[in-house]
Amino acid sequence: MAETSQLTRNIESYVDSSSLMHQTASLNAIARLVNTDALPLQALVRELDMYLTTTDKVVRSRGILLLAEVITRIESKPLDSAIMHSLVGFFKDRLADWRAVRGALMGCLALIRRKSVVGIVTGSDAIAIAQSFLQYMQVQSLGQYDRKLCFELLDCLLERHSDVLTTLGEDLIYGICESIDAEKDPECLLLAFHIVESLAQLYPDSSGLLASYAKDVFDILEPYFPIHFTHPSSGDTHVQRDDLSRSLMSAFSSTPLFEPFVIPLLLEKLSSSLQSAKIDSLKYLRVCSSKYGAKKIAKYARAIWPSVKDTLCTYLGEPEFSFTVAPVDGIGFPENEIVIEALFLLQQLIVQNSSLLVSLIIDDEDVNQIFKTIAAYEIYDAIPVQEKKKLHAIGRILYITAKSTMPSCNAVFESFFSRMIDHLGFSVSNIDSFPSGDIFNSQRVKFGCLYLCIELLAGCKELIVGSDEPAMQNVFEQETCCTMLHSFSTPLFNAFGSVLAASADRCPCDPDIYIGVKGLQILATFQSDVFPIHKTIFENILKKIMSIIIEDFNKTILWEAALKALCHVGSFVQKFHESEKATSYRSLVVEKIVELLSLDDIVLPLSLKVEALSNIGMTGMKNMLTILQGLGTAVFANLSKVHRNLRASETAVQLLECYSCKLLPWILENGGTEDFAVQFSVDIWNQAGNCMDFSAPFIKKELLDAIIKAMKLSVGSCAVESQNLIMQKAYGILSSHRDFQLKEVETLPLTPGTFDIALREERIISLFASVIIAVHPKTHIPNIRALVHLFIITLLRGVVPVAQALGSILNKLVSTSNSAENSSDLTLEEALDVIFHTKICFSNTDVLQRCNGTSNGNAMVLTDICLGIANDRLLQINALCGLSWVGKGLLLRGHEKIKDITKIFMECIVSGTKSALNLTKHSLENTEEQIQDPSVMKCAADAFHVLMSDSEVCLNKKFHATIRPLYKQRFFSSVMPIVLQLVTKSYSSLSRSFLYRAFAHIMSDTPMVAILGEAKKLIPVLLDCLSMLTEDIQDKDILYDLLLVLSGILTGKNGQEAVIENAHIIINCLIKLVDYPHKMLVRETVIQCLIALSELPHARIYPMRAQVLRAISACLDDSKRAVRYEAVKCRQTWASMSSRSLNF
Amino acid sequence: MVSGLINANPVIYERKERRARTTPSAPHDEYAVEPIDQQEIFDHIRDIKDPEHPYSLEELKVITEEAVEVDDQRNYVRVTFTPTVEHCSMATIIGLCLRVKLMRSLPLRYKVDIRVAPGSHATEAAVNKQLNDKERVAAALENPNLLDMVDECLAPSYD
């Protein structure tokens, strides 16, 4: 009983309530009851009884709607056929009741849409619904939503019950016409178009019922074409113009019965001046011709062809004579939708009615005219603009014709190709007697002909490549086009070659060069199993291009084009496994290029040599290996000469750069083996052993850097075993070096003075350090303890790579705690012990004297040096710099020791004032009365940059560093509180400014997420920091980085609260920065920040408005344009904040 | 008052491609001055909406880049615009929009002259006089209806 009353209440609430929320809630409740079988559908109907039949129209319509909604919601609940039948009977009758029509429509639709497993509407019921619909519904007199329901219902009926609906005959067609006539709503139209499409499929016969009504149906569709739809794309409706256009197109092309009406309409609209109409017409024509079939379209071909031709002539742009943007084959044009569609249409027509279209094209007056006139012009620029346009259009047409089908390709070749060869001046008759050598006619070659040749060749080539069936390929050889090509390949080669030759002695213009080079390239890249071009011709082509590479280096465009073509040919040869051509290519191109490297007398500049080398190497792995061999030889040949020859050093640097920046990454990317990298590294060590034994004064810093870079990258790309190999070699060289004995190094205490490391030893050690930096954690490093000692000493001399190596060692060493697979003889803890507790002795009396005596004796540990106990500024800076890299290694792996290291840096920055840190008692005593040198403090502050930034040179993924996730966030959250505390406590302005500097470094490298969480605390310091950084020009990059952090906070969601709170000080700070003179990006970002700030709550920022506007007006006269643009925007947003603008 | 549109069916022209700025000789020279030039002024005003059509002044060819004369040294700008029809009563509104936009976008040192192209308007002299009289411009902007209209036309040019 309670349930029933509950039900009644729900029904009442649905029928009467004016609140949508209540209605939905009660509807859901009822549907749930029915769905869970708590309430049988029959019972619901009985309960609703009165609501369904009452004479009150409002209540009745709500009642019927309720029932319909419920049925919609129980779509997955099985219903037996009797219930279905009675429901159908009810709803179809209700269609007559126009006041309740929505419920009736929805009910019918829900029933029709049911899946077969849960009981579907029978055929006779469907007919009954359809009949009732056709009888009672006046679709166009309904509202938008109801119309949509009507169309959905019709659509569904046609889709689900097409078999039985045919019996309705004329009534159905008539009814559909009536309902969709003059429909305007886009959503409804989509459905209406689809209904027409389904209707057409219902009566496919040409003599069927639809045939007599086709005109009527089409008359309704016709006004919609072309779809003109200007609704904003982001409106309530999700229908786009393209959707509508596509669905109208399917309706148009749904039946051949429309053909007599559609094609004339489309042809008429093709001449419209509206772009979209043109595009649509072309698109529709293409789809319709494929749907209607070749025969129907054939009679229109004569009408379509001129329109297509005219469209192409009008809309085809200037071709892009450039190798960077053009496609591999053929000629590239700027993208234009009309042109693309026109070409598609043409292709479709040719595929359908090949012979007809080809005869149209061949007999076309314009085409023939072009052949006559164009012959007169020898260079591209001499052709008048109008002729050029025609030439391009005809070229495209020939291209498409050749590309579409074999017969069409043959036909155009037959009728045009020989004509073109004639024009070129090679008579067809004496072709055999023509010398097949490298004699280039001195006569000018007709540009237009060559242009058309290229289009034809490109089309033909695409046709051949496009056919995948291997069986087909044997047939090609017999085809006319292939035989013709074959017999004319020599004259063609000569023609293309002479374009280039001709361009060589006068001012070469780009299109001519392009055509010449492209022609040669296309000729060279025909697949040999389809169209076997003579080996001699292929070789001649390569020779010709190579001669350009070697000689014409001062004609940049020609040279680059030739290189590009050469690369295309190379990769083609590789891709299609053309063994014969590959051999020619290797001997004529690859080996020749390598040869060039060793020849000094060739005038070709080295940079171009290197460019050619790397580009050709990248055409294939085999070529790359040859190139690498050659490069290696050249590098070592130059390295061995460096002490005598300054130029050799420069050459070596360039070659090494090419190796590390281009060749090595390519090899790794393309799955090459590491053999070469290993060999290369070992060879460098051999050389290093040899050449650095001399006093080698010519080894300059750049060369050393280049070698180190190449070494690092090579080692980094190898596997562990290979790295072991290289490591042994390197260690062998290092230890055999005569001037220092590693064994001795190990004896304690360390005294830098006794090993007066000379410059060249320093180089050897740097090189060795580069190996250490790049190795895998598992690679065995021999005698690591001694190495660490050695590194510490070298580090104090300020050799940065060594510090990085030390950091890498610490980063990769295995810790004792998990020493299960401990392969090295030193654990992390031991290494730390060595670094931080080894006493370093200074036998050098000089240093001793400068020690202030408070340290015990003349031995101290590294950290003491960092804190300046040695009283040697340079030594201290070196130590700090080294320590920062050591710290970075530890930080990345998330080691605890980093805290101590950070403390040392902090101590360096704040000492001089009252020390706020509790460092070891020992050092505290020393630092109290000691004031640090500013440069030391700066170095300590910059150490945070080293710690936080991602380094390219070491300790990254490439060099196998151990990187703990979120290490930056962790470091940030542990260090930032200390920094903030120190900032507030430090009284000396000097140390505070360096604290700010450290703060800036940390901030700019921390992920935004971490910062946003702390924004409230950080913003005030950040702002102080910003104003501090404006003082020195040197700091402009740091300033910019920090500003980016601020803009991140301003735009981030989480930071809003903190921003609102600090709005005033932020704006004040930014206003001071708007005229920062030293970096444009700073000013631009500041103004963008101000724009972002204008989004804040009005009350909060309004007081600042006048001030901001005053500052911004000055920016309108900034020296940089970008800043002015931003300023205009900013001024507008701030000015329009209140209804009355300030100035205007 | 006005029953229909002044020019119910204007000719729409294509927008010009936004020219990418050729980078100045030394791209990293922080202190090099990029003077305000014709293109920059044109960029400020090209997107202003026509008062009676949903098209920009550029699309209607009311203004072109060539019609902007600028002398950065002498702090002087002159914009010459061409109303779509001779008797266009919107000419003053268009001129007002141009003036307001340039006042808001250019540094204070500039003197801005707005005029209709010679021979393109029936009451050319009157329009020119009205547009370059600062008292009348100020008075016009005191009128909330006019100001709203101007702001609406200017809105697209700030995007």
Render B46-98 in DSSP notation, one character per residue.
Answer: TTPBPSSSSSBTTTTTSS-GGGEEEETTTTEEEEEE--SSTT-TTHHHHHHHH
Task: Name the minimum distance, in Å, from the CA of B61 to any CA of chain A.
Answer: 19
- Output the 3-class SS for A68-110: HHHHHHCCCCCCCHHHHHHHHHHHHHHCCCHHHHHHHHHHHHH
- Distance CA(A954)–CA(A885), nearest Å, equals 10
- Distance CA(A8)–CA(A4), nearest Å, equals 6
In the three-class reduction of DSSP (H, G, I as helix; E, B as strand; rest coil), residue A582 is classed as: helix
- Distance CA(A720)–CA(A726), nearest Å, equals 10
How high is the mean pLDDT in each 10-residue block of chain A (1144 residues)?
73 81 86 85 84 85 89 85 88 86 89 83 87 87 89 89 83 87 86 90 80 86 82 65 88 87 88 84 89 85 87 82 65 82 88 85 82 73 80 86 84 80 59 42 64 82 68 60 77 77 58 79 74 77 83 78 84 78 82 78 77 84 84 82 75 86 85 80 78 56 84 87 87 71 51 56 83 87 82 82 89 70 68 81 48 50 75 83 91 88 88 46 44 81 90 85 89 91 83 90 91 88 91 89 92 85 92 90 93 90 91 90 92 80 47
- Do residues A96 and A103 touch, judged by C-beta distance below 8 A? no
Task: Name the minimum distance, in Å, from the CA of B119 to any CA of chain A.
Answer: 30
CA terminus-to-terminus distance, chain A? 73
Most A CBs within 10 A among B53, B97, B104, hence the mutation to make, goes to B104
Cβ within 8 Å of residue A856, ≥6 positions away: none
- Distance CA(A862)–CA(A583), nearest Å, equals 62
CB-CB under 8 Å, A1128 with B40:
no
- Distance CA(A747)–CA(A374), nearest Å, equals 89
ipTM of the complex, rounded to two decimals? 0.93
Using a 10 angstrom Cβ sphere, with 0-12 exposed, 13-18 middle and 19 or more buried, the burial of residue A344 is middle
- Distance CA(A610)–CA(A634), nearest Å, equals 11
Task: Name the minimum distance, in Å, from the CA of A237 to any CA of chain B.
Answer: 21
- Do residues A741 and A697 touch, judged by C-beta distance below 8 A? no
- Distance CA(A557)–CA(A569), nearest Å, equals 18
Of B34, B100, B103, the CB nearest to A1120: B34
Cβ within 8 Å of residue A1050, ≥6 positions away: A1059, A1066, A1089, A1092, A1093
CB-CB under 8 Å, A1121 with B40:
yes
Rounded to 5 degrees, what are φ and ψ at A1052? -70, 150
- Distance CA(A336)–CA(A1024), nearest Å, equals 55
Residue A1077 near chain B (CB below 8 Å): yes
Of A1120, A1124, A1132, the CB nearest to B158: A1132
- Do residues B104 and A1132 touch, judged by C-beta distance below 8 A? yes
- Do residues A497 and A559 touch, judged by C-beta distance below 8 A? no
Residue type, B61: K
CB-CB under 8 Å, B32 with A1116:
no
Most A CBs within 10 A among B33, B34, B73, B99, hence the mutation to make, goes to B34
Give the DSSP letter of residue A256: G
- Do residues A412 and A398 touch, judged by C-beta distance below 8 A? yes
Cβ within 8 Å of residue A191, ≥6 positions away: A148, A151, A152, A154, A155
Residue A1128 near chain B (CB below 8 Å): yes
CA-based nearest residue in chain B for residue A1136: B151
Give the DSSP letter of residue A469: -
Task: Name the minimum distance, in Å, from the CA of A1114 to any CA of chain B.
Answer: 7
CB-CB under 8 Å, A1113 with B104:
no
Residue B21 has pLDDT above 80, yes or no: no
Q: What is the reported pLDDT for B77? A: 94
Residue type, A1033: I
Q: What is the reported pLDDT for A1086? A: 94
Give the DSSP letter of residue A952: S
Rg (CA), chain B: 16
Strand partners, A840: A750, A860
C-alpha A24 chain-centroid distance = 46
Residues in chain A: 1144
Cβ within 8 Å of residue B106, ≥6 positions away: A1116, B36, B41, B44, B77, B112
Query: Nearest-5° angle of CA B48, CA B50, CA B51?
Result: 115
Which chain A residues touch B158 with a CB distance below 8 Å?
1128-1129, 1132
Which chain B residues touch A1079 with a CB distance below 8 Å?
30
Rounded to 5 degrees, what are φ and ψ at A281? -60, -45
Task: Name the minimum distance, in Å, from the CA of B31 to any CA of chain A.
Answer: 7
- Distance CA(A597)–CA(A630), nearest Å, equals 8
Name the residue among A158, A167, A108 with its Cα closest to residue A136: A108
Which chain B residues touch A1124 with a CB distance below 8 Å?
36, 40
What tokens were used for B153?
A: 């036309």
Using a 10 angstrom Cβ sphere, with 0-12 exposed, 13-18 middle and 19 or more buried, the burial of residue A820 is exposed
Q: What is the reported pLDDT for A432? A: 42
CB-CB under 8 Å, A1132 with B34:
no
Give me the domains of chain B, ranges plus CATH numbers: 38-158 (3.30.300.130)
CA-based nearest residue in chain B for residue A1119: B33
- Do residues A167 and A124 touch, judged by C-beta distance below 8 A? no
**Could you tell me how many CB contacts below 8 A there are between chain A and chain B?**
42
**C-alpha distance from residue A893 to each of A338, A590, A813, A818, A1025 (Å):** 59, 46, 10, 14, 30
Residue B27 near chain A (CB below 8 Å): no
